[in-house]
Structure formats: structure tokens, C-alpha cells
Structure 1
Amino acid sequence: MPELLTQNNLMFLFAFTAGMVSIIQLLEYLVTKNIPWLWRIVRQLWRKIRRSIGKKADDGYVQRHILNFSGHPVSPGQQQAIEKHMHWASSSVVDVRLGNVPEDNNFAAAITKAIERAGLSHEEWQTIPCVAVPAGYPAVWSVILAELHGRLGHFPDVARLRPTQPGASEKYEVAEILNLRELRHASRSKR
């Protein structure tokens, strides 16, 4: 027993304990303070894995996105209707969760951060065809349109939803796809 309590053994025991405590505190900090950051990395990795598995090089697979800003899930029927209107074989829905948008000076910054969380790279924004399902709040939608125009280099196509007949399985259906680029070019002649 006396050899366990020597100065070298006590120093080693204290150093080991201090190291273990600091590692535990670091892990606790990373997990509790950085959950959104860690979750974003995991989500982006999962999307990249899913996209790479979904690509079929020999079948001429072209990736297409439905960007959902509405805050409600895009139903399979709505997704199929958008694919039919756009003549797409398949598409993937990217839910951009806006949450509660603050009604203060950081209005646009909060929306920009939400769009950043979509996890699309610069190349994907500029090369992958997309259709946007709009947010219901006009001020939010105007900021989203400006942000998308900056990222895409043009206005996106927009899915216009309308209420369905009473008794239908879905509450909203896709009425049409608005091609904002064509509308813009047509209105330029009216200057």
C-alpha cells in the first residue's frame, strides 16, 4: 500500500484524472453546444451518400430538386404532379425549414441561414433544375426569391398550389408550374 501512495504514482493518478475530466468536458461541450452544427454535417453527409447512391451513370440519370419552402410536407401526389408538369422522370424533395422567422432587423439574415441549411453546394445551385414550392408569407417569399435568383442566376420555376375539392385525400394540389423567367422576359417588352 505505501508504494501506491508515492509521489510519482500520485502525480500520474492526478494527471490521468485531469485528462479524463477534460476529455469528458470537451465531449459534453461538443455535444451540447454544437448540436445544430454537428446535425448539419451529418445531414449533408447523408444527402451526399444518398445522392451518390441514387446516381445511375449509365441510365442518363439527371438530378432534379423540389425546394419546399412552404413549411408543410410535399405529398407524394404533389411530387408526382410536379414531375408530370415538368416532364421529369424523378425528383427529390429538399425541405428548407424556415421555422419562426423573426420580425426584426435580422429578417433576411434568418432566411439566408435557413437556405444555407438546405445543404446544396454552389455547383448544385447553378446546375440542377429545381422547382420551388413557395412560402405562404409574402415578405418571406420575396426574400427567398431574391436569394434564389442570386444563387441560381435566374428565377426558379414555382409550383402554384390550390385547395382540392372537399373529400379529396390531399388538401392542396398542384395547379400549375409558373415559369417566372418567361413572365419576366414577356414583361420586358412592356417597358
Structure 2
Amino acid sequence: MIVLNYSHPITPAQQEQIVALVGQAIEQVIDIPSQIDQQQPLAPQIVAMADAAGLSAQQWQSEAILINLPALNFSAAALLAELHGRMGYFPPVLRIRPVAGFMPPRYEVAEILNLQVLRDEARTRRSQ
């Protein structure tokens, strides 16, 4: 599996948690800066973030890819739209949370959100 990391570095402990949750080895973690220039249009910056992964069209559509989204909400939303276009489905994403009682703060992988399953299940509620 390839992990595209658009956020804080993923620690070795978090990588172990990911492997345990997914049941698949991590082949590569690609750290990609997600800072944007708020004075410039967002869309081209998001395309550049996706391009920075260095994946081919075939890889986007056939590799097991997990995303650690940028923290900035509109960057995350736009990146999901871009990745859906490249992949043909919504990618699974990490949800990372603080571990209670640690100072300085420590973070763990809470779960893997399968966005495609969430989307597919939501479609069943369209006619309700």
C-alpha cells in the first residue's frame, strides 16, 4: 500500500497501527507539502499537490492508496475531488486523534475511513 501524507509526519507507531487496521504492508509513505498560498486560486495548487505524489495514471487507478488529508478543510475537500477524478472512486483516509493524557500531545490512528463505502451507503438514503 502507498500512503500519501499531506499532513504531519506519520510516526513508526502510527504506521504499525495502519498496518494492523488495513492488514496490508506499507510499501511507501510519500510526504507531500500541503501549504497553500491563500492569495492564489486553490484549484491549481491542489492539482500540484496531487501531481507531487509522482504516480502514473495506472498507479492512481490500480494501486492500494491511503490518504492522510491536509488539515485545512477546503484543501482537503478539493484534494478529495481531484483524487476521485484520478482514481475513479473516493480513497480511504486516515483519521488521527490525540491520545488522552499525554503532554506533549501524542497522536494515534483512530480509524481508516472508507469514503467510497460511506458514499455508496449514502446513495441508499437519496429517496428517503
TM normalised by structure 1 equals: 0.62
Distance in structure 1 (CA, Å) of the matches to 2:56 and 2:97? 31
Structure 1 runs (4+) greater than 6 angstroms displaced: none
Deviation at 1:104, TM superposition (A): 3.4
Choose which of 110, 123, 138 in structure 1 pairs with 2:58.
Answer: 123
SS of equivalent to 1:125: helix
SS of equivalent to 1:167: coil
Structure 2 residue ranges without an equivalent (≥5) = none
In angstroms, what is the RMSD of aligned CA positions? 1.7
Distance in structure 2 (CA, Å) of the matches to 1:74 and 1:170? 14
Equivalent residues in 2 for 1:39-54 (5 A)?
none
Amino acid across the alignment from 2:16: Q
Based on CA coordinates, which of the two structures has the bigger radius of gyration?
Answer: 1
Q: Which residue of 2 aligns with 1:83?
A: 19
Q: Does 1:66 align with 2:3?
A: yes
Amino acid across the alignment from 1:96: I
Distance in structure 2 (CA, Å) of the matches to 1:88 and 1:147? 25
| Count of paired positions | 126
Distance in structure 2 (CA, Å) of the matches to 1:122 and 1:65? 14
Higher relative contact order (CA 8 A, sep 6+): 2
Choose which of 20, 26, 29 in structure 2 pairs with 1:93.
Answer: 29
Deviation at 1:76, TM superposition (A): 0.7
TM normalised by structure 2 equals: 0.90
Give the conservation status (yes or no) of the 8 Å contact 2:2–2:26.
no
Deviation at 1:177, TM superposition (A): 0.6
Identity %: 37
Cα–Cα, structure 1 residues 161 and 120, in superposed 2: closer, same or farther, change >3 Å? same
